[in-house]
Amino acid sequence: MAARPTRSPSKKQSPKYIFIVGGVMSGIGKGIASSSIGRILKSKGFKVTAIKIDPYINVDAGTMNPTEHGEVFVLDDGYETDQDMGNYERFLDDTLPSINYMTTGRVYQEVIRRERNLEYKGKNVQVVPDVPIEVIRRILEAQKLAHADVTTIEVGGTIGEYENILFLEAARMLKQKFPHDVAIVMLSYVPIPHNIGEMKTKPTQHASRELNSVGLQADVILARATVPLDQKRKEKIATFCNISPERVISAPDVESIYDVPANYEKDGLGDMLTEVLGLPKRKTDLSEWNAFARKVKNGNKELSIAIVGKYFNSGDYVLSDVYISVIEALKTAGFHNDSKIKLDYLDSEDFEDGKRELRSLARFDGIVVPGGFGSRGVEGIVAAVKYARENKIPYLGLCYGMQWQTIEYARNKAGLTGANTSEVDKKTPYPVIDIIPDQKEKMLNKNYGGTMRLGAYPCVLKKGTIASEAYGVKKISERHRHRYEVNPEYIKQLEEAGLVFSGRSPDGVLMEIAELPKEVHPFFLGTQFHPEFLSRPLSPHPLFLAFVKAARAHKEKK
């Protein structure tokens, strides 16, 4: 069946809001739940937009350490946000603006700015109701900007914490104002303790009471568990959480996040939400999405790709969340190349202290070096880049990965021994990567938050290169997040040594893509920007497609 065109329910239909809140504990997939709800409603032909609320004081996610908070996802307009915004863009196949992301810090900053501007006209400005009012103002503005029939609002954290209480108060106030237009979905966790071997609903009952204590009642409960819920558990949750058993949706572990929408639909979530919100009944059509979800797991060819990075380890755990958009972009490109991508996360420091031999890279069909900051592990990165170049293994460098690709080339092919980035070595004889002039002052003034070169910028491609062939157009737009660039003073030398700058800013000053000609290396390409932010399941990114294609060819040749 053809995809249903987006249309408004009716002229008179008021906009609808769905708050997604978490019970029992964090980390059980609120972001994917929100994204999946959005996808289901979009597939019914409703216009959907998605908001994320992070209760941190940080004004944006840009100042948070990735090993603590995960990936920093950059929007077109340059706002540095949480990785869930990436999930929303991928699931909704839409570009979201910065108004759709807010933190406690951002909200307070705005309230204080208004107070300083006398916009409260001399009255006392109070935490309640003025802070929730600002939260609601932002929600309504996001809805208006997107002309959304339905706006999903994911409230970070867990019910019962101090941190998100003002956001829950905003939900309560909005519901009081528009009782028929606001739904509350609680994502809860239903554990099966090892020693008991039985699914326990008590924590969910407590979470539901906590929610009641802030004046909210869940309309739907998504019960996360390792396995599907049986009817008995559904009834128990229903009785003690004050809803009907049909409103308890089973949300078991699934093989891939892309299976979640179909899984919710098994319990009829889409129709349930439209019923709660008084939206017209429409058929859910996830056929295109589900075809993707099926194939992403079952691609014909398996390709082994190494991600060589520096933000993997935290204590005894490996954190792949830091590179989630890179991983999703690779998987998506695999799907569109009929390949299943198998990823290995290699900590670049292991190449420095001999824990891992460079030769171990030989078995990979492709190597990716993603973005990063600072000096730890960079010599390991440069060694891996050199290995990929000399052994003709397809290489994709993203931001820092492109900068280290350039440094490697400078050191080993352009005779610039000791070349470096001034981010790591201020005294290097050859700063082939140097700070962007307008960033220097910001650094001197310790003006760090939200001041990098951020967001979408145009880039012009050079004809006859891998990049221009991959994109098939002359001018592109990609998202950025960096302070350093290829130093214009070394461009000529690097070009003479054979490196091709196949993408530049329209004024020709900033090098956006570096690559080697096809005759020299099948795929040795790096981008100053982050293409991973624009890859979507149903519209993959051309550079990731080209990289995976090269990895496939490399495997076939091996």
Positions marked active-site: 399, 530, 532
Tell me which amino acid residue 308 is.
V
Does residue 499 contact residue 543 with C-beta atoms inside 8 Å?
no
Q: Mask: binding to ligand GLN, 307-346, rule CB under 6 A, as x and -?
A: ----------------------------------------
Q: How many Å apart are CA 382 and CA 407, to the nearest integer? A: 8
Answer yes or no whether residue 537 interacts with ligand GLN by CB under 6 A.
no
Report the residue from 289, 484, 533, 544 that binds ligand GLN according to the rule CB under 6 A: 484
User: Closest approach of Cβ 533 to ligand GLN, in Å?
Assistant: 11
User: Which residue, 400 or 430, has its beta carbon nearer to ligand GLN?
Assistant: 400
User: Closest approach of Cβ 550 to ligand GLN, in Å?
Assistant: 22
Q: Mask: binding to ligand GLN, 46-85, rule CB under 6 A, as x and -?
A: ----------------------------------------
User: Closest approach of Cβ 436 to ligand GLN, in Å?
Assistant: 8
Answer yes or no whether residue 483 interacts with ligand GLN by CB under 6 A.
yes
User: Which residue, 42 or 483, has its beta carbon nearer to ligand GLN?
Assistant: 483
User: Which residue, 225 or 399, has its beta carbon nearer to ligand GLN?
Assistant: 399
User: Which residue, 107 or 491, has its beta carbon nearer to ligand GLN?
Assistant: 491
User: Which residue, 30 or 482, has its beta carbon nearer to ligand GLN?
Assistant: 482
Q: Strands, E, within 34-166: which ranges?
A: 48-54, 72-74, 80-82, 101-103, 150-155
- The helix (run of H) or strand (run of E) holding residue 16 is strand 16-22
User: Which residue, 357 or 438, has its beta carbon nearer to ligand GLN?
Assistant: 438
Q: How many Å apart are CA 365 and CA 227, to the nearest integer? A: 35
Stretch that binds ligand GLN, among 239-247, 319-327, 399-407, 462-470 (CB under 6 A): 399-407
Report the residue from 111, 166, 293, 399 that binds ligand GLN according to the rule CB under 6 A: 399
| Other beta carbons less than 10 A from residue 443's beta carbon | 12
Q: Cβ-closest residue to ligand GLN?
A: 371
The pairing of beta strand 524-527 with beta strand 395-398:
parallel
Q: How many Å apart are CA 43 and CA 57, to the nearest integer? A: 35
Q: Mask: binding to ligand GLN, 414-453, rule CB under 6 A, as x and -?
A: ---------x------------------------------
What phi and psi, each to the nearest 5 degrees, are found at residue 282?
-140, 155
| Close Cβ partners of 548 (under 8 Å, ≥ 6 residues apart) | 303, 330, 333, 334, 337, 339, 341, 366
Q: Phi-psi bin for 44: left (phi > 0), alpha (psi -120 to 50), beta?
A: alpha
Stretch that binds ligand GLN, among 156-164, 227-235, 243-251, 479-487 (CB under 6 A): 479-487
User: Which residue, 240 or 345, has its beta carbon nearer to ligand GLN?
Assistant: 345
User: Closest approach of Cβ 256 to ligand GLN, in Å?
Assistant: 27
Task: Write the DSSP symbol of residue 465.
Answer: S
User: Closest approach of Cβ 326 to ligand GLN, in Å?
Assistant: 11
Q: Mask: binding to ligand GLN, 361-390, rule CB under 6 A, as x and -?
A: ----------xxx-----------------
User: Closest approach of Cβ 160 to ligand GLN, in Å?
Assistant: 36
Q: How many Å apart are CA 558 and CA 549, to the nearest integer? A: 14
Structure tokens of 107? 């909200």
| Close Cβ partners of 378 (under 8 Å, ≥ 6 residues apart) | 310, 348, 404, 424
Q: How many Å apart are CA 233 and CA 104, to the nearest integer? A: 36
Q: How many Å apart are CA 104 and CA 156, to the nearest integer? A: 11
**Total binding residues for ligand GLN by CB under 6 A?**
11
Structure tokens of 111? 């309230």
User: Closest approach of Cβ 95 to ligand GLN, in Å?
Assistant: 20
| Other beta carbons less than 10 A from residue 93's beta carbon | 13
Residues in the chain: 558
User: Closest approach of Cβ 481 to ligand GLN, in Å?
Assistant: 5
Does residue 143 contact residue 152 with C-beta atoms inside 8 Å?
no
Residues found near ligand GLN in the complex (CB under 6 A): 371-373, 399-400, 403, 423, 481-484
